[in-house]
Structure formats: C-alpha cells, structure tokens
Amino acid sequence: MEICPHAYEQMAIRLTENEMTLVESRAKAAWESRDTPSLAIVAHELTGQRATDNAGVTSNGNLIIAIVKQGTLTTVFLRRDTQEVKAGRLKCASLAWMIPKRPTGPKARKYLNRRW
C-alpha cells in the first residue's frame, strides 16, 4: 500500500508519531485482507475528543478514519462517534473496523452510557 503526500500532511496535523505508525499499520493490514476498490478504515479510537485547526484545516472527533483507494492511502481524518460511520457516508465501497466495532451516530450515546 502506498501513502500519498496529502495523507502524510493530514496525519502530521492531526496525530502523534505513535498514532501515525499505528494508523499506517492498521490501514495496511485492512487493505491487504480485502478485495475492494476503496476502503474506509476505523483505525483508532482516541480517549477523548480532539480538535485541530493548524494551517486552516479543521477536524474534530475521537475516531481516526483512514481512506484507501486503489491501493493508496489518500487521507486520514478525525470523526466524532456521534456521526454515523458507514462506507456510503465515507464514499467508499467497504468499511473495516480495526478496533472493536461499536455503535455510531444516534446510537452512540446509548452505548457510551452503558460503558460507564
């Protein structure tokens, strides 16, 4: 799997070095285990909400999503778990959870209440 310069730029703005390494390895593992033209990967869950504003780029959330198209990691961004995480919403043919799968969108709040 290749990584385009845009994806490196986005990761540098949003993630720590350890998170970058983790996201890259999980994206590669997910891509190699599936036969699809495009893949959205839920690569990591942060312990809390993170917001970035560096260089005019805004992104916030607690889930790190990676997008791989035609064998190239094209972008990495943050998404709140209160937003639905579905392949169609992320404009990909498939979705892979590299963390334990859990509800997102409207059902996320109920799930979070049960975890505590």
Query: What are the tens digits of pLDDT across the range 22-41?
Result: 999 999 999 999 999 999 99
Query: Quick one: tokens of 66?
Result: 């990676």
- What is the DSSP-derived secondary structure letter of residue 84? -
Per-domain residue ranges of the chain: 2-115
Query: Quick one: tokens of 55?
Result: 């260089």
Q: 10-26 pLDDT, tens per residue?
A: 899 889 999 999 999 99
Check: pTM over 0.85? Answer yes or no.
yes
Q: 83-108 pLDDT, tens per residue?
A: 999 999 999 999 999 999 988 888 77
pLDDT score at 79:
92
